[in-house]
Amino acid sequence: MDGRKSVIGLLGKHIENSLSPFIHQHFIRYYSLNYCYHSFQINEDRLKKALLGAKALGIQGLNITIPFKEKAMEYMDLIDPSAKMIGAINTMARRDKKIYGYNTDWKGFIIPLVRERKIVLSQRKAVILGAGGAARAVIFALEKEGCTVISMINRNQQHALETKKNFEMHFSNCAIKIFSYNQKDIQRELNEADLLINTTPLGSWYVPNQSPLPKEIEFPSQVIVYDLIYYPDKTPLLKQAEIKGNQVINGREMLVYQAAESFYLWTGIQPEQEIIIHILKEMDKKR
Ligand code: NAP
């Protein structure tokens, strides 16, 4: 490592299986940049020191992941308006000795639907499982695309209510309804929906072999099932939906597109489709 190398990296608590280093190392090599990407695994009590330390050390940028996306906002000098509306950041970028907070998850989420699959979301209805940071990025993206009804199903109703209130302040053309995990309610909402999105960690490597929905749930044929989880690539929810013949999308494309947006914020280079497709193919080999 030479003295002119720029340092970027990942800050999180459960990052052992994160694919972010893999993605960014591909971008760095593809564009022959003098950058290195490090993983920084910390506990909650180190967050403030880690971010202020990163600022003092001149670290160029960080991806910020679970469970720090909300708390990290407190230590930024400035926050991008979209991230402020979402209430979470997943990217820190250094500019003129200041650290800025951004959210690139919402773009990462929407590109695989709208740009890659040409799905029109205007006047559509979505069902979202979960009400956390990822759910807020998803709601922001869906509302921007003109979705008119979002049914949010969450374990903690208070958490769901806070998320709903946050968005009602900003968008008035989309109704957000809240439900608990009641099979009847879920089935009714799903019957009228175009999109089902899982933003809970159920089925991921750290809550393995679980589906957020009971196996009795029917998936109406028009519903596209999008699971934000990227490891494993086929969660129990996606397997349930695929058996019924529904179109499914996992979280891998979202992960690569949100990473591409972060990379752009750090380097000014918007990764081309060629390297994005190459990374997605390489990820498939890692199943
Ligand atoms: P978060 O802020 O902690 O929110 C997690 C949500 O899941 C909450 O609504 C929580 O419900 C719910 N939940 C957690 N455990 C549950 C359980 N056992 N049963 C039912 N509900 C449960 O996390 P996040 O940042 O939103 O991330 C959520 C997931 O999205 C993670 O798996 C993450 O890897 C994935 N993600 C993927 C990408 C990508 O690029 N593909 C990007 C961002 C996030 P309560 O409110 O009841 O606690």
pLDDT value for 161? 97
Pocket test for ligand 1, best of 63, 211, 228, 254 (most atoms within 8 A of CB): 228
- Annotated catalytic residue within 13, 49, 55, 69: 69
In short, whether 64's Cβ falls inside 6 Å of ligand 1 is: no
Tokens in use for 284?
């498939």
Supply the pLDDT for residue 1.
Answer: 58
Q: What angle do CA 151, 130, 14 make, to 5 degrees?
A: 160
Instruction: Annotate 225-245 with b (16+ C-beta within 10 A) or e (fewer).
Output: bbbbbbbbeebbbbebbeeee
Write out the chain's pLDDT in tens, 287 residues.
566 789 999 999 989 889 999 999 999 999 999 999 999 999 999 999 999 999 999 999 999 998 999 999 999 999 999 999 999 999 999 999 999 999 999 999 999 999 999 999 999 999 999 999 999 999 999 999 999 999 999 999 999 999 999 998 888 899 999 999 999 999 999 999 999 999 999 999 889 999 999 999 999 999 999 999 998 999 999 999 999 999 999 999 999 999 999 999 999 999 999 999 999 999 988 76
| Ramachandran quadrant class, 203 (left: phi over 0; alpha: psi -120 to 50; beta: rest) | left
User: 65, 12 in Cβ contact below 8 A?
Assistant: yes
pLDDT at 287: 66
Containing 108, the helix (H) or strand (E) segment is: helix 105-110
Q: Tell me the CA–centroid distance for residue 113 and ligand 1, in Å.
A: 20
Q: What is the pTM of this model?
A: 0.96
Task: Tell me the C-alpha distance between 116 and 112, whole Å.
Answer: 5
Query: In this predicted structure, what is the pLDDT of residue 19?
Result: 93
Say if residues 225 and 237 touch (Cβ distance below 8 Å).
yes
H or E element: which one contains 109? Answer: helix 105-110
210: left (phi over 0), alpha (psi -120 to 50) or beta: beta
Q: Is 215 a catalytic residue?
A: no
